Amino acid sequence: MTSTLPGADIRGFYAELGIQLPAWAQIEASVCCFADPDAHRRGDRDPSTSVNLQHGAWRCHGCVARGGAYEAARVRGHDPRSAIELMIRHGLTGRRGANPRRPPRRPAATRRSPSPRATAASVRNVSPPRPRIRVSEADLQRWHLNLLGRIDVLERLAATRGWSGHAVRQFQLGLDDSRITIPVRHPGGELVSLLHYRPSPESGQDKIRAVAGSRRALFPHPADEPSRQLLFVEGEPDAIAARSIGLPAIALPGADSWRAQWAPLFTGRAVTVVLDADRQGRACARQIAEDLAACATAIEVVDLAPDRADGYDLTDWLMAHRPRGQHAPKWLHRANALNAA
């Protein structure tokens, strides 16, 4: 069991990682998997991870990832130093040499080596480092050319998803067998995630899945978008649909993936948040609005369908209303006002 200092702020620690623990929980809090949500169906919308509120340890009962507070910070993007600093800030550990009760260390000659059983147990309690994406730029270009050469697939994407040829070229979308490939990059071109997307999955198939080694990231990165007015959506396909009609959209990988440390990327921007019409999407939209309040110049949260809870999203709305690029924000604002009336 992971030990923490008395009075540790477990809830505050996880909140700073962008993981909101239910207020009603007393000993174990259930949350969506934050270690590898893409290993779960529908991004683990039915929470499978438990967080212990006494010592901060966590375990996913779906993908079996687990660890302590330190591992939670690492899988959420912190490096070793910032993970320790975050733990210190919330009282989960102390600085070296700061605890006067700490017994002196034994001389090296008298220290006991850990038993093989203890070493194996410690390895099981730590999530293994995420592997690198084993995809080359040549692979991405080959898949991209495959898609550009399939007029039937391009026409189907335009008719059912609203995707334009310009957006396909802009984001180097590709076709690998029957799956659309979506590369996600950081500023400078580094590939941080590769998604396989099925626009019309069959029963039991995942609609979107990240390949091994992918990291959760915004799509496209806000630093690559000069516009001062942004549309913030849920899911990369929604961003592609919005970009296809000229809207500067940034996509969150999923409703459980928002990180408070992303908020400064939107400093000085006016942001319209349009997430999916379900419980997770609405809760995430509220959290995003709270986190952006200190840095964005304006924030509007649009609920596309207040009477629905089935995941109705921006692509569904765009395909139903067919607004043109510059008129879409006005349509969204008008729909929001009508829905709130």
- pLDDT tens digits along 211-230: 888 888 999 999 999 999 99
Q: Positive or negative, the Cα torsion across 105, 110, 116, 118? A: negative
Output the pLDDT for position 213: 86
Domains in the chain with CATH codes: 10-124 (3.90.580), 130-215 (3.90.980.10), 216-341 (3.40.1360.10)
pLDDT digits (tens, 9 = 90+) for 27-82: 888 888 888 776 766 555 668 888 988 888 888 887 778 888 888 888 888 888 88
pLDDT digits (tens, 9 = 90+) for 312-341: 999 999 998 876 655 566 666 665 555 554
Binning pLDDT at 50, 70 and 90, where does residue 289 land? very high
pLDDT digits (tens, 9 = 90+) for 138-195: 999 999 999 999 999 999 999 999 999 999 999 999 999 889 999 999 988 899 999 9
Output the pLDDT for position 2: 44
Starting at the edge strand found earlier in the chain, the sheet holding 270-274 runs 249-252, 229-234, 270-274, 298-301
Whose tokens are 């310009």? That residue is 166
Long-range CB contacts for residues 323-330, cutoff 8 Å, separation at least 24: 323/245, 324/245, 325/245, 325/246, 325/247, 326/246, 328/242, 328/245, 328/247, 329/229, 329/231, 329/247, 329/272
Both tokens of 208, joined, read: 């979107």
Strand spans (E) along the chain: 28-31, 49-52, 58-60, 66-67, 174-176, 179-185, 191-197, 208-210, 229-234, 249-252, 270-274, 298-301
Q: What is the DSSP letter of 9?
A: -
Both tokens of 339, joined, read: 């829905």
Q: What is the DSSP letter of 291?
A: H
**Mean pLDDT confidence for 97-119:** 48
Q: What is the DSSP letter of 277?
A: B
As a whole number of angstroms, the distance between CA 284 and CA 32 comes to: 12
Of 54, 49, 50, 51, nearest to 3 by C-alpha is 54
What is the model's pTM?
Answer: 0.63
Output the pLDDT for position 47: 80
Peptide bond into 131 cis (omega under 30): no
